[in-house]
Amino acid sequence: MSALEVTGAVLVLVGTAVLAVAAVGLFRLPDPYARTMCLTLASSLALPAMVVGAWCFHPGGWNAVKVVVVLVLLPYTSSVGSTVLNRAGYLRGASLEPAFDDLAPHRAPDGSAHDVRPPAEGPGPRDLQ
């Protein structure tokens, strides 16, 4: 085996180990928000390692282009997807296990997510000019 293949094998094994830890976390973490965070972190760490590891087994120009596209697009799709899932869960009323909700005092009495905070006191942006 060449050094490139050994590097590829190590990267694929690291990615697999991170995904295995995330799978355990999926069952052990208490609420949907923590589970989503665990899976997002795993996809952000494991998938790039596995893609680069796979490239090490089959290096080439066209495969390198594919790897670069994956590495560029993955952070955007992963973070946007997890944000959308967490927001949907929050708006559906998914409970927080620790029962601490920063946004709860600012929700409308009917449960909608409209901002009902009173205006901030003190100097505003126009007063500082």
DSSP per-residue codes, the chain: --HHHHHHHHHHHHHHHHHHHHHHHHHHSSSHHHHHHHHHHHHHHHHHHHHHHHHHHS--HHHHHHHHHHHHHHHHHHHHHHHHHHHHHHHHTPPPTT---TTGGGS-TTS-----PPPPPS--TTTT-
Q: Please report, rounded to a whole number, the percentage of residues in the chain having pLDDT higher than 70.
A: 74
Residue pLDDT, tens place only, 93-109: 777 765 555 555 555 55
Residue pLDDT, tens place only, 4-23: 999 999 999 999 999 999 99
Round the average pLDDT of the chain to a whole number and report it: 80
In the predicted structure, residue 92 carries a pLDDT above the cut 90: no
The residue-averaged pLDDT of 56-77 equals 91
Whether the Cβ atoms of residue 35 and residue 25 lie closer than 8 Å to each other:
yes
The residue-averaged pLDDT of 47-61 equals 92
Q: Which residue has the higher pLDDT, 108 or 60?
A: 60
pLDDT at position 111 is: 59
